[in-house]
Amino acid sequence: MDLSLFADLAVNGLVIGGIYAVIAIGLNLQYGLMRILNIAHGEFLMIGAFLTFTLHTVTGASPLLWLPVVVALCFGGGLLLHRLVFRRLTATSRSLDQVEERSLIIGFGLMFILQNAANLIWGADIRGYDFMSEPVKYAGVVVTQNRLLVLFLAVAASVGLILLLQRTLLGKAVRGMLQSPLGAWLVGIDTQRLHPFVFALGIAMAGLAGSLLSMIYEVSPNIGETYTVMALIVITLGGLGSIGGSFAAAILLGLVESFGTHFTNPSLKMLLSYGIFVVILMTRPKGLFAK
Amino acid sequence: MNTSMLSVQGLGMQFGGLKALSDVTMDVKKGEFVGVIGPNGAGKTTFFHAISGVHVPTSGTVRIGGSELQGKSPDAFCRAGVARTFQTPRIFGDMTVLENVRFAFLFGNRIGDAGLIDKVIEETHLDGLRGEIAGALPPARQRQLEIAMALATAPRLLLLDEVAAGLTEGEVEDVARLIARLRDTYGLTVVWIEHAVRTLMKTVDRVAVLNFGQLLADGTPAEIAADPRVISAYLGDEVVE
Amino acid sequence: MKTFMSLVAAAGIVLAAGPWVFSDFWLSLAMTCMMYSALAVSWAMFSGTTRYLSLATSALFGLGTYTTAMAMQHLPWPLLIIAGGLVSALFALLVGAAVLHLRGTYFAVLTFGLGELVRHSITYTEKSVFGTVGRVLTEVPSNETLYWTMLALALLAIVTYKLVSASRLGMAMRGIGADEQRAATFGVNTRATKLIGFALSAWFAGAVGAAMAVRWTYIDPHSAFSPLIGFQTVLIAMIGGATTWRGPVIAAIGLSLLSDALRLNFPHAYLIILGVLLIVCVLFIPGGIASIQWKRLFGRNHGGMVAGHKEAA
């Protein structure tokens, strides 16, 4: 394989892996902390993508400018969603297992609501826009600028979040809650206020992933489900609750997908990822990187 | 020739960095009545989990009636004749008392005389409560129900985990007498975890003491009561008669 | 049990007169009601009792549809339906063998993506192996035949639910739903129980899919594996009450009527409404309609088993 093909596949894999990382970390935060299995997660990616698309095409301003706005909107939406739905869910469930079960069904319903709302608002067609699609040459490798940008931003966001969790007091509180909800509460961490925050943060990450995605790919109202499935595969591979694990697993999956589908067939992308998923579930259900 | 009912060798249970059990070796013969005591967190319940298929031991072997069973599913242990209760009673809360016992009988009993159901309900003093919803019963009754369910599976080895918790001294004595009687009636081998050490030591044939996941001592009640390691670790001077 | 069977038989005879009584429109609506009754009741039979939530109904239904599409020429109608069910049941066994021994979450997550996965795989196979995108059904049985088939499947689903409920399998599944590990300590072979339960439930999804295939003369992966079918199945079962058979049947009828009324005028909005309905149901009436009725009629549970399984005495 010549260098340029290799580099092309590698960059592709990293870019898609980066997007997987952002969305998977968001899902992992929600699940790891609150056992909320939000299978509508990918729909927020779709919403983020569409919001960016609309804001960019309507105003003409760069999507990069709208990125933080979209993320903030998704964060706000997440807070609202938590207040309306998930707060009651956690309050009325008798066990964490019940929260998981019920959030699954709720997510299922949410998925249909969001997909069809998007269909109503934007129509079912595939939408896309051109953004920084001029190629750039570096060390003999040709890559479009937007991909590099997306990769950079995705990695920056993921690393930024990991650092937030590791270094800041807030992050330590969240990690404490991830490890032991009761222990965290006992030491005075305000779990009541942190729950909506973390939940909304997860949604915001999905929106961010979608916004980034819109810069390089075309989007339609039904892309959400695939990304939800991918995010689920990633967090299983990386170990539920392990944010760093999700990051690593996402990059890995992105690369495997890129190289794997090149050698087999692009339509088999799902089959490949699923196959990996099933194998991991059967052999190491705690994830590749679990302690 | 093999009279061993339960035999564990080098049993270990590790959760991440925590060694809940390490290198426990013990043998319980058919028909023996063994008590297991130790401070909280000593690994007593973990020990039960490891010998009933609820946990897969990280090291060591578990033999029930001579057959190696570690790593097998809980239903394999049930088929081998193991029945147990849990510290917090795990019964089927939405079913009635009778349905609970029937459940245990249907799935756990290989021999199959349905008269056993009524018999165990009577013996655990649940006779007037057959139609009650199990989840609505007070904890002491639920513990009785668990024992009835365990017996309904016609076990060879009965594992009782703190069935006398929260009872007055008189009630604990009643429980001890009940267990001893059941052991005689059904020809059981019994392993009993309990904090009511005084009563336990008066009832059992042998006592095993766990501390920090290790087997500290294993002997007759008299030997254990006199053992200085046990006294300093758990019993204190008051129990020594 | 005897009264139940007689009632079922009576209902069967009465409803069988449908083709001569109903207009085409009502006949079609009746078929939709029966389809969702069969799907929701069989879903509740496994997922409602064991609490292993399967989101695979779309995949299983589609497999049945494709069985018809591919084997229509070679099999007589009754065998075709049975075969469609068997294909799905076999697939369910495979999937189950891979993940049913893990926690319910993994199972739900895996079944969630199955619809997409199977659809992609079929699309790929059709293109590369058969060189087609979709298939056309040339000779289809009459509308009456389809109606009676759906009636038979719906009644069969209800009877199966009732029989399983009263059987050892049903008891084992309820034990798993209540406390799986505990059930195992009492001797329940949880793995085998779940596999059988899932496969049985899957058979119905496949059989229904095989039958409904003839409603569309053109079969392609997109229509056969429509996620809407899986969604409505879960919705109906949850709203009706996932631990009974009566609940799903009532909800199936109600929802089919509602959907039909709304779908024509608000094709996307009505799906949003259904989604909201599902969320409201989970949050406020987790036991579904069936749970409300029982509480009002009987007050406290009198020696019944898991709420709603009064059939299994």
Interface of A with C in 116-135 (CB under 8 A): 116-117, 119-120
Least confident of A265-274, B175-184, C258-267: A265-274
- The answer to whether residues B60 and B96 belong to one domain is no
Q: Which of C108, C123, C275 has its CB closest to that of A113? A: C275
DSSP category for residue C127? I
**Contact call for residues A158 and A247 (beta carbons, < 8 A):** yes
* Chain C residues with beta carbon closer than 8 angstroms to that of A37: 105, 108-109
Chain-chain contact of C120 with A271 (C-beta, under 8 angstroms): yes
Least confident of A126-140, A185-199, B210-224: A126-140
- Is a pLDDT exceeding 90 seen at residue C267? no
* pTM of structure: 0.90
- The answer to whether residues B176 and B70 belong to one domain is yes
- The answer to whether residues B206 and B111 belong to one domain is no
pLDDT level of residue C308 (50, 70, 90 thresholds): very low
Q: pLDDT value at position C60?
A: 97
Q: pLDDT value at position C312?
A: 39
- Is a pLDDT exceeding 70 seen at residue C296? no
For A10-53, the pLDDT digits (tens) are 988 999 999 999 999 999 988 887 888 889 999 999 999 999 99
- The answer to whether residues B10 and B66 belong to one domain is yes
3-class DSSP state for residue C138? Answer: coil
B209 touches chain C (CB under 8 A): no
pLDDT level of residue C161 (50, 70, 90 thresholds): very high
Residue of chain C nearest B150, judged by CA positions: C186
| Boundary residue ending a domain (B95, B129, B154) | B154
Domain locations in chain A as residue ranges: 3-224
Mean pLDDT computed over A105-130 = 89
Least confident of A25-29, A60-64, A84-88, C246-250: A60-64
Question: DSSP string spanning chain B?
Answer: ---EEEEEEEEEEEETTEEEEEEEEEEEETT-EEEEE--TTSSHHHHHHHTTTSS--SEEEEEETTEE-TTS-HHHHHHTTEEE--SS----TTSBHHHHHHHHHHHH-SS--THHHHHHHHHTT-GGGTTSBGGGS-HHHHHHHHHHHHHHT--SEEEEESTTTT--HHHHHHHHHHHHHHHHHHT-EEEEE-S-HHHHHHH-SEEEEEETTEEEEEE-HHHHHH-HHHIIIII-GGG--
Cα–Cα distance, A70 to A59 (Å, whole number): 14
Start-to-end CA span in chain A (Å): 36
For C64-120, the pLDDT digits (tens) are 999 999 998 899 999 999 999 999 999 999 999 988 888 888 888 889 888 888 988
For C218-236, the pLDDT digits (tens) are 899 989 999 899 999 999 9
Domain that holds residue B127: 82-154
Cα–Cα distance, A105 to C55 (Å, whole number): 9
- Is a pLDDT exceeding 90 seen at residue C154? yes
| Boundary residue ending a domain (B120, B154, B188) | B154
Phi, psi values for residue C265, rounded to 5°: -90, -40
Chain-chain contact of C112 with A39 (C-beta, under 8 angstroms): yes
Share of chain A above pLDDT 90, in %: 40
ipTM: 0.91
**Selected residue with higher pLDDT from C263 and B32:** B32
Chain-chain contact of B77 with C305 (C-beta, under 8 angstroms): no
Q: What sign results for the dihedral spanned by CA atoms C250, C251, C253, C254?
A: positive
Chain-chain contact of A229 with C113 (C-beta, under 8 angstroms): yes
Q: pLDDT value at position A237?
A: 87
Distance, in angstroms, between C243 CA and closest chain B CA?
12
| Boundary residue ending a domain (B114, B135, B154) | B154
- The answer to whether residues B149 and B170 belong to one domain is no
Q: How many domains does chain B have?
A: 2
Q: At what angle do helices C143-166 and C2-16 cross, to 10 degrees?
A: 170
**Average pLDDT over chain C, rounded to whole?**
88
- Is a pLDDT exceeding 80 seen at residue A268? no
For B72-99, the pLDDT digits (tens) are 999 999 999 999 999 999 999 999 999 9
- The answer to whether residues B97 and B148 belong to one domain is yes
- The answer to whether residues B69 and B163 belong to one domain is yes
Residue B165: partners with Cβ closer than 8 Å, 6 or more residues away:
B87, B143, B195
For B221-238, the pLDDT digits (tens) are 999 988 888 888 876 655
